[in-house]
Amino acid sequence: MNRVRAVFALLFCAGPAVCQAQEPQAVVDRFFPQPLAASRADGRHTCFMVLRLTSINEPDAIAAGYADGTVVVLRLLTRLAPDIYVVSYETTPSPRAPATSCNFTGPDLDGDGQPDVQLEVLSGTVSSTWAFKWTGDTLVPRSVPAAGGR
């Protein structure tokens, strides 16, 4: 039975169509935090930044921001295998940073060649920025409006 699956997968991917990597937004949406998921769908906001790609250009590490208008959470989603991701880092939900939208930027602030992750959360005309160092494997908080991550 496994041999049949392997042959099918080979034919499916080796045919005229190219196998498509999963879109980062679909991965981010799958991991919307449960405490925030209770909010109305039109009040949920996400943003993401792909931090690392596999050798075949599939997202391997994704910084994902989640907001529901009252709380903000940042998660690092790490790929274990094709279409299998886990939450490898998460900030404590921040009720002090209500957000109606979010945005990521990735300037290299310390000159180490790795993008440093900045999550900007907006609520009307007020914004705050969470800064993290990307080590290539995890996020290290530099400045976070709430208690650090786990």
Average pLDDT over all residues of the chain: 79
Q: Give the domain range for residue 89.
A: 21-143
Q: Count structural domains, the chain.
A: 1
Instruction: Find the DSSP H helices in the chain.
Output: 2-14, 24-30, 34-37
- Asked if the structure places residue 77 within a domain, the reply is yes
- Asked if the structure places residue 93 within a domain, the reply is yes
- Asked if the structure places residue 13 within a domain, the reply is no
Taking the complete model, does pTM exceed 0.75, yes or no? yes
- Asked if the structure places residue 4 within a domain, the reply is no
- Asked if the structure places residue 114 within a domain, the reply is yes
The pLDDT value recorded for residue 98 is 61
Nearest to 68 by CA among 92, 95, 108, 48: 95
- Asked if the structure places residue 95 within a domain, the reply is yes
Average pLDDT of span 27-41? 81
- Asked if the structure places residue 8 within a domain, the reply is no
